[in-house]
């Protein structure tokens, strides 16, 4: 196993004491042995930091960095700076993985027909709720559909980072931006431009835990989180001029931005963001309306639906059930 390349596993940690031991145990049990685990204790106020110290004391593959709170982007950036592996992956500290997780990912990159071109390998994932039961109809499977078709690259690379396996060459010069939401998508959009093919491990080896008090759930409860996400899509559309081979990624950004605009319109604009929403949405429509309408990658029904929802919000509210 020593001849196998080193894999760096980066785990940002913040106030996850009830779940952390299960996460770290699942990593320690990996059948692939040549790995290091970089735990970044991001200013935890519970005993998460002490749990990290305990694991580092009993397993020399684990090491911990304690830092002041810099949010998940800052924690991941710290891990990136410290990582020594040829391959890197991220695991969220309230999730857990199968014992074959690293081995399956590495073997996928070693398959003959993918040997020279696979840079990212992505397993599908299950959604685990607090009671440990699997939610087979998870909304995440709908948001991030995965299948073995020709568009697999586009479907998986611009989403979350915690179920992916990156070769170090992909990450040169990259870091996570300090965003309130969507830092994964921004990061993966940059990775996207460097990737030729993506290998798929079609097994549910990553177990995502849905928590109501997670950082992501807390952000979703903020009244302006949709505006922040919309702004992220707007900035990405303006920043990235994708080549023809990356049209699917750009189309996804268009659809996402327009979806947030529809939602704001149907909600009669959040009052505290009324002016910002209206001005920014009008600006995006002026810039990208023609591209949106002419895109053959967006179903005609969706283009028609946007027109109706945007210009006739009364009917849109009736159709969507939004009050």
Please give the full DSSP string across 273-300, using - where no structure is assigned: GHHHHHHHHHHHHHHHHHHHHH-TTS-H
Contact in structure between 200 and 108 (CB atoms under 8 Å): yes
Query: Tokens 């702004």 identify what position?
Result: 231
Render the burial of 103-118: b for 16+ CB within 10 Å, e for the rest.
bbbbebbeeeebeeeb
Count helices and strands in the chain by DSSP H and E runs: 13, 10
pLDDT at 260: 76
pLDDT by residue (tens digit) across 253-290?
Answer: 787 788 777 777 777 666 666 777 788 888 888 888 88
Cβ-based neighbour number of residue 160 at 10 Å: 20
pLDDT by residue (tens digit) across 90-146?
Answer: 999 999 998 999 998 888 887 632 322 233 345 555 544 444 433 333 333 333 344
Residue count (the chain):
323
With the C-alpha atoms ordered 31, 146, 156, 227, is the resulting torsion angle positive or negative?
negative
The pLDDT confidence band at residue 192, using thresholds 50, 70 and 90, is confident
pLDDT at 319: 61
- Locate the domains of the chain by residue range: 7-218, 222-320
Percentage of the chain with pLDDT > 90?
30
Domain 7-218 is found in CATH 3.90.550.10:
yes
Which of the residue ranges 70-84, 166-180, 292-306, 309-323 has the most confident prediction, judged by mean pLDDT?
Answer: 70-84
What are the start-end ranges of the E strands in the chain? 7-13, 35-42, 62-67, 87-90, 96-97, 118-122, 125-129, 165-167, 197-200, 206-210
């Amino acid at each position: 196993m020593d001849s196998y390349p080193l894999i760096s596993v980066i785990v940002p940690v913040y106030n996850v004491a009830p779940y952390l031991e299960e996460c770290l145990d699942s990593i320690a049990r990996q059948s692939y042995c040549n790995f290091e685990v970089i735990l970044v204790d991001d200013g935890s106020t519970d005993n998460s930091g002490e749990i990290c110290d305990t694991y580092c004391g009993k397993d020399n593959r684990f090491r911990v960095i304690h830092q002041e709170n810099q949010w998940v982007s800052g924690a991941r950036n710290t891990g990136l700076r410290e990582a020594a592996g040829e391959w890197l992956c991220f695991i969220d500290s309230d999730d857990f993985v199968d014992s074959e997780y690293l081995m399956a990912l590495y073997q996928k990159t070693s398959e003959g027909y993918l040997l020279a071109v696979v840079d990212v390998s992505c397993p599908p994932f299950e959604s685990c709720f607090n009671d440990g039961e699997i939610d087979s109809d998870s909304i995440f499977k709908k948001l991030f559909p995965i299948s073995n078709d020709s568009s697999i690259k586009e479907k998986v690379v611009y989403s979350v980072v915690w179920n992916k396996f990156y070769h170090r060459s992909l990450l040169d010069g990259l870091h996570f931006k300090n965003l309130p939401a969507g830092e994964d998508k921004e990061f993966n959009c940059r990775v996207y431009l460097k990737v030729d093919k993506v290998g798929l491990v079609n097994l549910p080896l990553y177990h995502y835990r849905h928590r109501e008090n997670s950082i992501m759930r807390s952000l979703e409860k903020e009244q302006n989180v949709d505006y922040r996400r919309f702004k992220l899509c707007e900035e990405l559309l303006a920043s990235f001029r994708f080549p023809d081979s990356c049209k699917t990624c750009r189309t996804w950004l268009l659809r996402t931005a327009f979806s947030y605009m529809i939602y704001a319109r149907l909600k009669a604009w959040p009052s505290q963001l009324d002016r910002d929403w209206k001005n920014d949405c009008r600006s995006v429509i002026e810039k990208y309306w023609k591209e949106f309408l002419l895109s053959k990658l967006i179903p005609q029904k969706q283009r028609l639906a946007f027109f109706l929802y945007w210009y006739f919000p009364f009917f849109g509210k009736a159709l969507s059930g939004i009050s």
